[in-house]
Amino acid sequence: MLYRWASVGVFSVLLLSACARGGAGTGAELATEAEHEHQQAELGEVEFPISCDDEAREAFETGLAQLHHMMYEHALPQFQAAAEADSECAMAHWGIAMASFQPLWHPTRDEDMARGKAAIDAAQRIGAPTARERGYIAAARAFFTDPEPPAPDRPTDHERRIEAWKAAQRELHERYPEDVDAAALYALSEVAYAMTQFSPEEEHDYARERRAGALLERYFEDHPEHPGLYHYLIHAYDSPELAHRAEAVARAYDELAPETTHALHMPSHILVRLGEWEETAELNERAAEAALHHPVNGRVSIHYPHALDYMMYAYLQLGESEAARETLEAVWDIDAAQPDFASAYGLAAPQARYVLEQRLWEEAAGLEPGIPEALDWEAFPAAEALFHYARGLGAARTGDLEQADAERENIEARVAALRAEGDLYWAYMTEALADAVGAWVLYERGRADEAVALMEEAADLEESMDKHPITPGEVLPVRELYGELLLLEGRAEEAHAAFQASLERTPNRRLALIGAERAADAASGELGGSP
């Protein structure tokens, strides 16, 4: 289906133009077409020719737009509807497969993997009449083909599948260089693969992300409202070094799809990197409200706690304690959440942030793990560890070193569980939290030199990992704790450097700004003491 757009530079204002497919239709047909055009207008512009009947094609295009917005639970029924509308529509089954894995989020669950494999089998059994469609199906098949030899764990399996998918998407893009969807999905595969490549010993140069972003940028002039270009560019440039490149796109994305939860939220990935707290809070307020209108299987979708976490982060940077408290109560009010790590992190992190950012040490020490009882917490050790991080720091800062030691052991138990699962990214990030608690315990026991050394190691480890897209930022960055210890030890110039280093990674953070100012004053002899 074709639409007309009134462009203003690269970004444009949507003017919906209902273009009949040709011939006079019934009132019902015209109403259906008008409804489809309205849906498309609210999702951006997707035009993807497929060898299927009109009803299937309309559902397919809506599903594809939702897929590019990473609204997988909304895309899937659209592709299923396309398959039901036209039993010979092979690309509908490609869509079902594509909605069955989330390349940036986590390894694919067993039931999703089974559905995706069945969908690819169906697409191949039906057969696509064009080489282009067969190319898309082959690219998706690359992900759902089991690696040989079998991977030892889920994260490694995910990495190998993403690598195979990336190679197939690149081939498809090179075969059809004018195809914006082929380009967008290839760029996404590059970003997804980059996320599987991390090491505490190697500096991240963002080469893959830069390449993906540059590719996406080339298509904006001809496709100024394509949702995949917006969404994947934000992910490509979601880093301190690159965020400025996506600022214009980020500020336009919510207008492209004003009722789509994830599109409302995504600009804040860049705005957080720029330290723009008011806009981050406002966008996620809208995203949270939209998410509540779209539960998944009777449960709050992952998009709701995800937005709450970003809201909490922004409110705390703004010093808006009342709004932060209301967000905390919203977390506690959730009684059933979509069983996903994104849900678990989005429920645990705001609670830890609330007490730690405000230095509510007694409340931090008493934070109750596993609240709310909205999911199976034991399935998400990295999220569980956040409760114990808050409890450990709170206990150490209030003098209960026995509890602090126990909380460090609790965190280390989650590190062991993550390593056993092969989830090395979160194992490293969680290990940094255990060491941060341990460092503060050492300090309280009078072993200051050991404490400072261990805290520096923990800060280096945390910063060797890039921020995961599931979080707006670390829960009380360890580099800030390192700066606090240095300031307590009278090493003001080193403390100032630590706070400045933290601000380079997370600009405009309230506690880092306060710490840097106090360290500067102490260095000049005007003020000393603890932040």
pLDDT value of residue 518: 97
Domain match, 517 and 448 both: no
Side-chain half-sphere CA neighbours of 69 within 13 A:
32
pLDDT value of residue 8: 29
Q: Which of these, 265, 263, 184, 175, lies nearest to 220 by C-alpha position?
A: 184
Domain match, 359 and 452 both: yes
Q: Which of these, 440, 459, 441, lies nearest to 498 by C-alpha position?
A: 459
Distance of CA 300 to the CA centre of its chain: 17
Q: Looking at the domain assignment, is residue 266 inside a domain? A: no
Domain match, 391 and 502 both: no
Domain region containing 526: 477-531
Q: Looking at the domain assignment, is residue 227 inside a domain? A: no
Domain match, 449 and 500 both: no
Domain match, 401 and 497 both: no
Distances (CA, A) of 304 to 250, 331, 333, 383: 20, 9, 12, 16
Rounded Cα gap, residues 51 and 92, in angstroms: 10
What are the per-10-residue average pLDDT scores of the chain (531 residues)?
Answer: 27 26 32 44 90 97 97 97 98 98 94 98 97 98 97 96 98 98 98 90 87 98 97 96 96 93 96 97 97 94 97 98 98 96 98 98 98 97 98 98 98 98 96 98 98 98 93 97 98 98 96 97 70 50
Its pTM surpasses 0.95: no
Domain match, 481 and 510 both: yes
Rounded Cα gap, residues 191 and 206, in angstroms: 9
Domain match, 384 and 449 both: yes
Distance of CA 266 to the CA centre of its chain: 8
pLDDT value of residue 526: 57
Domain match, 463 and 371 both: yes
Which of 448, 471, 494 is a domain's end point?
471
Rounded Cα gap, residues 88 and 85, in angstroms: 9
Domain match, 509 and 465 both: no
Domain match, 441 and 519 both: no
Which of 456, 471, 486 is a domain's end point?
471
Which of 471, 487, 511 is a domain's end point?
471
Domain match, 348 and 443 both: yes
Overall number of domains in the chain: 2
348 touches 306 (CB < 8 A): no
Q: Looking at the domain assignment, is residue 453 inside a domain? A: yes
Domain match, 454 and 500 both: no
269 touches 238 (CB < 8 A): yes
Count the neighbouring beta carbons within 10 Å of the beta carbon of residue 117: 17
Q: Which of these, 103, 136, 104, lies nearest to 120 by C-alpha position?
A: 136
